[in-house]
Amino acid sequence: MRKLIIVLLLAILQPMLANAGDGTDVVSEKRRRVVVLDPGHGGVRPGKPAGKVLEKTLNLDVALEVRRQLAEKMPELEVHLTRYSDSMYDANRDVDNRLRAEYANRLHADLTVGIHANAHENTSVCGGEVWILSLNDKVLNYNKQKANRFADEGDYIDIENIDRSSMGFMLALARQLDNEPRNRNFARALCNNFKAIGLRDRGIFDSVVWTLLYYLEGPGALLEMGYMSNPAELKYISSEKGKREIAGAISDAIVYFIRSLDTAEEYAASDVQGDVPTATEGASVAERRDATCVDASGEGYTIQLISSKTEVDVRDSQFKAYRGRVMLVMGSGSWRYKYCYGSYSSQQEAKADLAEVRKSFKDAYVVRYKAGKLAK
Ligand SMILES: [Zn+2]
């Protein structure tokens, strides 16, 4: 009991002590680090639909696996989930997300990680991405329509209705300025780890829109583990192997981040490229390739392998050596589904690969694409 009281006292006094300046290092070392995982959605809000698979279930499965792995990798770390079952805090989504942030704030979380899966109307879009809070003007003026995203809109705060002179906004801005380098440090580590397990690295997105991040007092980020709208990626992220590897990428990034908090120099490092442990020990290149995907949402040149009247699974055997690595580019007419390989910034680069591709697809040729469509 006495021990419990001391632990509780330390937990309460810690935030004050930490701000007391030099001489508190001993106490800092003894304080248990706290991580909060927030499996997105739950209860009446399933998140993004993908047939029988529900985003809320994927999010929870991965969060529980991250917790299990952290118990092994860093037993001294205190890990809490905002939900341990198919539940939510409030039927109102804004309130629900704010309460999740407040739960993490009460625990003085050293890091809070929102766990989500993504979707896009173009089924070739794929990859993992990490969102961090940003309150700079460019981001504030960003038009959310342009983001071309759906179904997670319910987790956004209403940018147009934020009173930028309000105390709440000023506080959020102050917190954001304070936490931004740490948030970015964690996000970078996580992106690197996503890449290492074969997910396409879509990078770090600065955003004001996530309600969870807006109300967090400590460092935090929100991840999208992949696209449920991409058939190959859905198969991967909903498989046991996929969940284990994704959780490995997340738990390794958390371990890296927590260690960096205790070593000031590392924490200040602005570039963690190459320094981050990866989650793929033991996974063969062939296995990683299973999760590799390509994305036609940008623009450039690609090599068209086949066209089809109907949509085809990118892992279909007809793609031979390119199974799972083709992307869908939309054309016109009845053969409008164009399955392509590679993404090149110039026609010359694409042509350099064409001979190799023609060994499997003799009629393949180079085309230009833009935003998921064939371009002239
Ligand atoms: Zn979500």
Tens digits of residue pLDDT in 287-314: 333 334 566 667 889 999 999 998 887 7
Q: How much distance in Å is there from the Cα of 58 to the middle of ligand 1?
A: 10
User: Are 275 and 315 part of one and the same domain?
Assistant: no
Q: Choose the weakest-confidence range: 69-73, 77-81, 285-289, 356-360.
A: 285-289
Q: How much distance in Å is there from the Cα of 229 to the middle of ligand 1?
A: 13
How much is the pLDDT for 342? 82
212 three-class SS: helix
Task: Quickly state the pLDDT bin for 40 (edges 50, 70, 90).
Answer: very high
Going by C-alpha positions, the residue among 349, 319, 320, 351 that lies closest to residue 337 is: 319
How much is the pLDDT for 112? 98
* pTM > 0.85: no
In a domain, 235, yes or no: yes
Count CB atoms within 10 A of the CB of residue 314.
Answer: 23
User: Tokens for 258?
Assistant: 């927590």
How much is the pLDDT for 160? 66
Spatial separation of the C-alpha atoms in residues 188 and 249, rounded to whole Å: 12
86-120 pLDDT, tens digit per residue, is 999 998 888 999 999 999 999 999 999 999 999 88
User: Are 346 and 205 part of one and the same domain?
Assistant: no
Q: How far is CA 237 from CA 60, 84, 126, 223, in A?
A: 12, 20, 11, 13
* Domain C-terminal end among 260, 285, 310: 285
**Strands, E, within 233-316: which ranges?**
299-308
Q: How much distance in Å is there from the Cα of 366 to the middle of ligand 1?
A: 36
The domain that holds 47 is classified in CATH as: 3.40.630.40
User: Tokens for 164?
Assistant: 């930028």
Helix (H) or strand (E) holding 78: strand 78-81
User: Are 359 and 369 part of one and the same domain?
Assistant: yes
What residues make up the domain containing 317? 299-375
Q: How much distance in Å is there from the Cα of 155 to the middle of ligand 1?
A: 8
Q: How much distance in Å is there from the Cα of 103 to the middle of ligand 1?
A: 19
User: Are 280 and 323 part of one and the same domain?
Assistant: no
User: Tokens for 355?
Assistant: 């001979």
| Chain CA centroid to CA 14, Å | 31
Q: How many helices (H) and strands (E) does the chain have?
A: 12, 13
User: Are 204 and 353 part of one and the same domain?
Assistant: no
User: Are 345 and 242 part of one and the same domain?
Assistant: no
In a domain, 293, yes or no: no
